[in-house]
Every structure is written in structure tokens, then in C-alpha cells.
């Protein structure tokens, strides 16, 4: 996609279009054979892309909360959710039942496409399906609750209730191949993180995302959010050029948009930072301090 095609697609105010054109020209000089970027997801108002920077430190290792003891058996999937939600399970039970019905049909469809099935069991498919589902009330969305507890500085207390659900979710993600497409990934947030964390977001620094982090290559999602917010709204677009642990969960998701999820603890180097109201932070992934998906 060349700059004229991009301008026609976006039809942004001139300042936004110019910024995106500048980023594309810079990329072409540094990697002329690479395809033009696609795009992001949380600058889409897509609530699942939770961006939390408050607890960016090494205490966030997940191993103790995911690995069951040798003498310990996992709870059934339904009981694992009841264990996590406790009394709130009654509120979301209808969504659980709906997702279970959807999963049964989705699983049948996946069986006819072995290349997309990846050997996931029904409950492993369901663990991803529920992660992507939208509940009412919104604060009980599984991805909201889980990522909030993962990011908490009291995680030794808040995360234990998720250990059985995480057992199923990580087993599912382990079976999905690492995202190695030449399509670049994007993720957006509705704030200027460089302004908010000036010492952290510096070219050459490393950052760690400690919650599950969703990205996409669909540029139309970024387009819609930027147009909605207008030129004055501060936003940040994370542009990921290299993935070591991202998994494409679209076949198991409640929506049809390409979604690549990075597990907690994913580390990235900051390659460049550009822009004014719209910050574009180019990242490439490096090895994580704890790689649960490879264990």
C-alpha cells in the first residue's frame, strides 16, 4: 500500500496523514523489501487491549500461578471459572453457557480445517473464546478481570484464583504456532504514553508487557479510532515489527478480526519514537525473562 492509497483509505486531517506518510517512508528506507504496515487494535476502542504500565517490574513472573503441583489435578473448566469468579459466576453464567454452545459448533467447523485446529481440545478452544467475549456488566469481562489481577501489585493475592483457568488458557496458546507472518502488528492506546512515562519510553530502552496484550494487522481498526478521536486527541500506536511469542487467536475468537495475543511478560526493544499528538513507537520483540509458552 503506497502513501497515496493510504491517504485515500484514511482521509485523515493533513497532520495525521503526513505523520503516517513520514513513518512509511522511513520504514521503506530501512527495510525496502518489507510490506507496508497493517495495523492496531486498542486504538480501536477494543477494550480487550488493556494497556497497563504501573507495575512494570520483575515481580510479575507467572510460573507459580500457572504450574500445578505434581499431586494436584486441574479443576473442570466450569469449576475453574467458578473458582475465579466466585459469587459473580452466577452473573456471567448465561454468557458461559452461550460461549459453550458457540464453541461446540466452532470446534466442529475447525475439525474440517486441521491447519487451523492446531490440536486444541474443546475446553482449550473455550478458554480463548471466553477470553474474547463481551459480558454485561462490562467490568466482569474475563479479559478485564484477568488482566487487572495480573497487573496488580497484590498479585500474590489476586491471581491465585485464576490458576486453573490459566492452566487451560496457556495449554491452548502453547499449541498455536508463533506468529511469523510478514504482516506487521499494531496496538493502540488512547493516551500519550511517552508524555506519561518520559523516562521509560526512550529509544533503545526495553519495555515489558505484563498482562495479555492483543494486537492486530488490520489497519482499518486504527483508521476508525483515529478518525473518531480527531487530530487533537493524544494516542499512541505501538508498531511491532518482530514477534517471538505472539499467537493468532482469530480462529477461536468471538469476532472475525485478526488478533495476535502476546503472553504476559513479553519484552520489546524500542527502535524508534515519532510523532506529536499521535505517537508511533516502533518495537521489536526480544526473549522474555520467563517463557511459559515454551515450557
**Per DSSP, what are the bridge partners of residue 178?**
247
Collapsed DSSP state (helix, strand, coil) of residue 170: helix
Identify whether the C-beta of residue 221 lies closer than 8 Å to the C-beta of residue 181. Answer: no
How many degrees, rounded to 5, is the angle at CA 137 between CA 225 and CA 234? Answer: 25
Distance CA 188, CA 235 (A): 7
How many domains in the chain? 1
Distance CA 207, CA 201 (A): 8
161: which DSSP letter?
G
Residue 148 sits in a domain whose CATH number is 3.90.176.10
- What is this structure's pTM? 0.77
Distance CA 177, CA 15 (A): 39
Q: What is the pLDDT of residue 232?
A: 55
Distance CA 162, CA 84 (A): 5
Distance CA 68, CA 76 (A): 14
Instruction: Express the helix, strand and coil content of the chain in percent, nearest 5 each.
Output: 45, 15, 40
Order of strands, sheet of 278-286, starting from the edge strand that comes earlier in the sequence = 185-189, 235-242, 278-286, 266-274, 206-209
Pairing of the two strands 213-215 and 260-262: antiparallel
> To which H or E segment does residue 102 belong?
helix 89-111
Distance CA 77, CA 56 (A): 30
Q: What is the pLDDT of residue 294?
A: 65
Q: What is the pLDDT of residue 114?
A: 59
pLDDT digits (tens, 9 = 90+) for 214-252: 998 887 776 676 666 555 578 888 999 999 999 999 888
> To which H or E segment does residue 87 belong?
none
Q: What is the pLDDT of residue 75?
A: 94
State phi, psi for 204 to the nearest 5 degrees: 95, -15
211: which DSSP letter?
S
Q: What is the pLDDT of residue 229?
A: 58
CA nearest to 290, candidates 242, 238, 245 = 245
Distance CA 89, CA 165 (A): 13
**Per DSSP, what are the bridge partners of residue 214?**
261
Could you give the angle at which helices 3-10 and 14-30 cross, rounded to 10 degrees? 150
Distance CA 24, CA 1 (A): 10
Q: What is the pLDDT of residue 41?
A: 32
Domain span at residue 178 reads 3-294
Identify whether the C-beta of residue 128 lies closer than 8 Å to the C-beta of residue 170. Answer: no
**Cα-to-chain-centroid distance, residue 163:** 20
Residue ranges in the chain modelled with pLDDT below 50: 1-21, 23-24, 26-60
Amino acid at each position: 500500500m503506497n502513501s497515496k492509497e493510504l491517504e485515500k483509505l484514511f482521509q485523515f486531517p493533513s497532520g495525521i496523514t503526513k505523520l503516517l506518510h513520514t513513518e512509511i517512508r522511513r520504514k521503506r528506507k530501512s527495510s525496502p523489501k518489507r510490506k507496508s504496515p497493517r495495523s492496531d487494535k486498542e486504538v480501536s476502542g477494543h477494550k480487550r487491549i488493556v494497556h497497563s504500565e504501573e507495575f512494570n517490574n520483575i515481580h510479575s513472573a507467572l510460573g507459580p500461578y500457572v504450574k500445578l503441583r505434581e499431586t494436584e489435578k486441574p479443576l473442570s473448566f466450569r469449576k475453574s471459572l467458578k473458582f475465579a469468579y466466585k459469587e459473580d459466576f452466577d452473573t456471567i453464567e448465561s454468557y458461559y453457557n452461550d460461549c459453550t454452545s458457540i464453541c461446540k459448533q466452532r470446534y466442529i467447523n475447525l475439525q474440517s480445517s486441521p491447519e487451523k485446529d492446531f490440536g486444541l481440545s474443546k475446553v482449550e478452544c473455550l478458554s480463548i473464546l471466553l477470553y474474547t467475549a463481551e459480558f454485561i456488566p462490562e467490568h466482569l469481562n474475563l479479559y478485564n478481570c484477568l488482566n487487572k489481577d495480573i497487573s496488580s501489585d497484590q498479585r500474590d493475592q489476586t491471581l491465585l484464583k485464576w490458576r486453573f483457568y490459566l492452566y487451560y488458557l496457556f495449554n491452548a496458546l502453547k499449541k498455536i504456532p508463533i506468529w511469523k507472518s510478514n504482516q506487521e502488528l499494531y496496538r493502540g492506546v488512547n493516551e500519550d504514553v511517552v508524555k506519561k512515562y518520559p523516562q521509560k519510553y526512550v529509544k533503545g530502552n526495553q519495555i515489558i508487557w505484563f498482562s495479555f496484550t492483543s494486537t492486530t494487522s488490520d489497519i482499518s481498526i486504527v483508521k476508525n479510532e483515529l478518525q473518531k478521536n480527531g487530530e487533537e486527541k493524544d494516542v499512541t500506536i505501538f508498531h511491532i515489527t518482530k514477534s517471538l511469542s505472539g499467537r493468532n487467536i482469530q480462529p477461536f475468537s468471538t469476532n472475525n478480526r485478526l488478533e495476535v495475543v502476546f503472553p504476559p511478560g513479553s519484552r520489546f526493544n524500542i527502535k524508534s519514537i515519532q510523532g506529536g499528538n499521535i505517537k508511533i513507537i516502533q518495537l521489536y520483540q526480544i526473549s522474555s525473562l520467563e517463557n511459559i509458552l515454551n515450557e
